[in-house]
A and B are shown apart, each in its own frame.
Chain A
């Protein structure tokens, strides 16, 4: 057992303190926003750290106002649509491509692999991409949320390097039993690949949940936007009028500030992630190690 010197003990204490402070800085912004989101006008306007809500100054009015606007419900619907449908489809497309690349007998393998890798280092850029989407007739079409994100080179390589690690004998015995590539993939490979599939699914889901730029750019009519874009409009364009007008004239509005309404809107997308995060975090960490196996 290695013993610690005095200097190391001092360092250790500092290490715990530094890491604790760092961890707190990641928690605090969310605590602050949550506190503001349930504060009355009086409490929210006071200058302070707002770590915990002031007792007696708690109100749910900001949330009531946010949810009273039907626009946020439709926006939420589109977010759920793209997260569920987009994630499912992209996991299949990515795993198919990765699995085919992992098979030793695939023809034109070098070509398919290079074809994939080039997309990682060279891009068309904003304007050609926009014109392309327009030419494909995907403006104001919800499939624009799904189709461009079907496959990414990095994820495909992560999937491929996982599939390569599965013993070839499993494939051979399946073939002897008369199973084709599809059957082998669905009945033998997929059940063995749960960790990588889970990781890819979570990456895709987080990406879909957080996307807003495509919604801003391609939904030119302003309809069918996702919830992140809805929030972007409120927060970024400093445009709480869009929702506060909705409740104007009602008594509830008196107890609101633009800060509390913004905070409540933000919390509406933050809370689902915070709820899921502790349960799925290990898959993200696993994914990074999977990706690091082979670059």
Chain B
């Protein structure tokens, strides 16, 4: 397959300043996203996936964030650009969709003005053309009465409509890359299905690349071409979507996939979900040496982990961090309530 590289992140570290020290939320991430592909980044809260998304357009609060590494977009390193140059890429070449469209839209501006803003800065369109294009975009994202919605404020729209408007904003300048940070998490399932459908349709039409950040494995299975699983600031496994669902290898991926209740998988009676022991480490007390998942799989011997975990390419395109996956097995968890003595 002759895939053209669209974005290449290498050795990205994004650290936040907390109580005087810097703590890396994204800790050495390298990725490559190709044109016209949907690349999903999956992980639980606190794994650094949203920090990664914001780093790509350098949208972190500069006062307390430090970003190192490089992000090449069409051959240029985004992180080395000045704000003026960066602003030419933001919105025009790379669009962003956020999780909660209610807070991500300015409450005091009508939808139309918010779409036109990016047109104003990136195209030479005049007022009339901008309005025409905005109405076109609103129609394109499936809004029934674009003229009405154009003049409405965000709070006057339903959640699904707001997210459609958000998508219209992100796509207004036909970007070649769209970063969607949990685009359907705040929505009901039927609306989620519609929005995913819309994203898929627009992606096919516009042939843009999508970075889909989510915690929902269902969304990944429905949307992604390739998947990266993040844990504690690192990517622990990357593979093609079919490969990762049929053959997850990293202990974290394996346990995460197993712990998900699945409406389509016929459950046995009294089925118990395998669980991951312990909890996601917080930014401040994260063990940064060795395999970061090791504390949560104590039944795997320490010797199985690498001192400095490396990526292993088990199949073309399927990378796993640390060799502990070779010795990992899912443990069944004992019942919590024994014959406890409550009167």
Q: Do A and B originate from a single complex? A: no
Which of B's residues lie within 8 Å of A, judged by CB?
none
